[in-house]
Amino acid sequence: MVNKTVSKKIIKRLKTQYRISTPLRFTNIYQLCVAVVLSAQTTDNQVNKVTPLLFKTYPDFYSLAKAPIKDVENIIKSTGFYHNKAKHIVALARTIVDKFNGVVPHTRQELMSLPGVGRKSANVILAFGFGVPAIPVDTHVARVAYRIGYTDSKKPIAIEMALEENIPQSDWITAHLLFIYHGRAVCSARKPLCSSCPIISYCCFENKNL
């Protein structure tokens, strides 16, 4: 299993491999919250295709809170599961307006009380909206962390705890992005490119493609 010493080497190696940036495009906390909810079970690129029109039509929580569900569905349809997503983002806007006076809450518990926001999404908002150290565990982060050997559990909460235990808090947000980039570029779900993996010497994955 990966310990703090090995983890430090892994993060250092990945930092030299990838030039990271936030995959979702947003310019304020409102846009981030909505984009995060839309990103469920689809790609960030697909979300980025629909948000310009969505944010132009509904530029803030107040306008989105009053939006007709059907109109929102038509804009976000290509992201998949658009019926539920439209309901969620409109309900989220209404909740923030009515319960939080239009201001996004900045604790994980309060964020998770918002429609469409689970623990991973709450961590994304904390990390990229407020700069609060957090490690959101999506499918890429979970796969990479499990394969490398940070944990022998596939449960997101266990993976999150293992990563937080072995990675310095100052690197939590960066590590989240690094694992996403690595999961997309090399450590894919079906055919990982193990022979070109920059951290293969630290990896505990049993089914390596060498």
* pLDDT digit string (tens) for the chain, length 210 residues: 899 999 999 999 999 999 999 999 999 999 999 999 999 999 999 999 999 999 999 999 999 999 999 999 999 999 999 999 999 999 999 999 999 999 999 999 999 999 999 999 999 999 999 999 999 999 999 999 999 999 999 999 999 999 999 999 999 999 999 999 999 999 999 999 999 999 999 999 988 876
Decide if 210 is inside a domain.
no
Tokens of 199: 């951290």
How many domains in the chain? 2
CATH code: domain of residue 177:
1.10.1670.10
Decide which of 104, 130, 156 is a domain's last residue: 130
Closest by alpha carbon to 187, among 159, 208, 156? 208
Burial profile 106-129: b = 16 or more Cβ within 10 angstroms, e = fewer: eebeebeebbbbebbbbbbbbbbb
Q: Are residues 126 and 34 in the same domain?
A: yes
* Cα distance between residue 174 and residue 202, in whole Å: 19
Among all residues, which ones are annotated catalytic?
A: 120, 138
Closest by alpha carbon to 89, among 156, 38, 128? 38
Nearby residues of 165 by Cβ (< 8 Å), 6 or more positions away: 4
H or E segment at 140? Answer: helix 139-148
Q: Are residues 173 and 98 in the same domain?
A: no
CATH code: domain of residue 92:
1.10.340.30
Domain range enclosing 190: 4-21+135-202
Q: Are residues 117 and 175 in the same domain?
A: no
Residue type, 114: L
Decide if 208 is inside a domain.
no
Alpha helices in 27-112 (DSSP H): 29-38, 44-57, 61-65, 69-76, 82-100, 108-111
pTM (2 d.p.): 0.95
